[in-house]
Amino acid sequence: MLTIPSPVDALLNRALAGEDLTEAEGVALLLQTDAGAIAAIRETADRLRQQQSGETVTYVINRNINFTNICEQHCSFCAFRRDEDEAGAYWLDEGAILEKAADAVQRNATEICMQGGLHVKAKVDDRALPYYVRLVQSIKQAYPHLHLHAFSPQEVQFIAREDDLSYAEVIAALQEAGVGSMPGTAAEVLDDAVRRVICPEKIDSQTWLDIVQTAHRLGMPTTSTMMSGHIETPAQQMRHLGLLRSLQQDSLSQGYSGISEFILLPFVGQEAPKPLRRRVGRDQPILADALLLMAVARIFLGNSIPNHQPSWVKLGLEGATESLTWGCNDIGGTLMEEHITTMAGAIGGTCMEVETLRSAIESLGRPAQQRDTLYGEILNGEILSEVEV
């Protein structure tokens, strides 16, 4: 066992023995300020990463398509959304979307990640679902091999509300059209006191959980995220992680699809609306805080969600690479075109080349491996192994 400074030694040794920690114990780890204790947390997270996910660091070749930034909501952290008549507003037509998909295919992408603003005019015959179905079908008909990772729980709720449908009806229709998995975005922090400040128009925590679990029940895997480093407390961070862990354990125990990965999304406020930016008091994430939270997330979630990913867009490639020694086993995707975080003032850029990602991974002496969306191994464009989620 490790020689660990008190008072975290017992907690970390229990985690190394395979036990799940409580939310309160996670808070105790997040509140550590002693350099030796923090180093021990990092070492524990790294050892658990090795046990749960191995030495190989994965990445996916993918492209983001944010089909519109016109949105009915006004989240206090968002610099991406626009009103329809506002400068910079856009709404991509089918031809532009297919051009982006074609470019992705030419660059060996295996995934399209598609999300957009909640645009009340995005309809066909006054219904929202046919519009979203058509977006999916246009890509899948042209490029059937692409995995579509598309439409967050918030978008599902929007479609259901607009068309008076159940969440299950919306998800099933999107699945039939060709959506392969659901992004676990719009979670922000799963605490309604926080949500009332940063995104009061968004779905509440329970609705997010209900939609994700409905997707799992219907055989659609999801990812999971947390936006950190704004007004939330360590207790609220751990409550968020606790809800994710419970959801995952419940889904898997019933034989449903589950959560394929956890992604930490540190708050970038440089171009965010002024009230929240002033309240937070800084424009860029604090790397040390993000690294500690990623380590605790690995310790807390790793038995249930073994794949953990940083955001190179938010932390920069150097910060994302460092996170690979704090519990993360995946460095994310090439993205090819990133708007939402970049418009908030992120420093990481909008696109990453495969060679750059591989070099960053290999700088740590770790092997790099291309994967598909669901963590199947890819070699020379062929999926070598499927991973059930």
DSSP assignments along 272-327, one per residue? S-HHHHHHH--SS--HHHHHHHHHHHHHHHTTT---EE--HHHHHHHHHHHHTTTT
CATH assignment of 9-385? 3.20.20.70
Q: What value does the mean pLDDT take over residues 21-35?
A: 97
Rounded to 10 degrees, what is the CA torsion of 367, 113, 110, 322?
Answer: -10
> Do the beta carbons of residue 217 and residue 179 sit within 8 Å?
no
The DSSP letter of residue 112 is E
Highest mean pLDDT range out of 81-95, 343-357, 360-374?
360-374
H/E stretch holding 226:
strand 222-228
Q: What was the pLDDT predicted at 4?
A: 46
Provide the annotated binding site for [4Fe-4S] cluster: 71, 75, 78
Provide the annotated binding site for S-adenosyl-L-methionine: 77, 188
Q: What was the pLDDT predicted at 5?
A: 47
Nearest to 29 by CA among 39, 318, 19: 39
pLDDT surpassing 50 at residue 140: yes
Contacts of 45 (CB under 8 A, 6+ apart): 294, 295, 296, 298, 299, 326, 327
Provide the annotated binding site for (3R)-3-methyl-D-ornithine: 152, 311
Provide the annotated binding site: 71, 75, 77-78, 152, 188, 311
Tens of pLDDT, residue by residue over 177-232, are 999 999 999 999 999 999 999 999 999 999 999 999 999 999 999 999 999 999 99
Token pair in block for residue 324: 């690979």
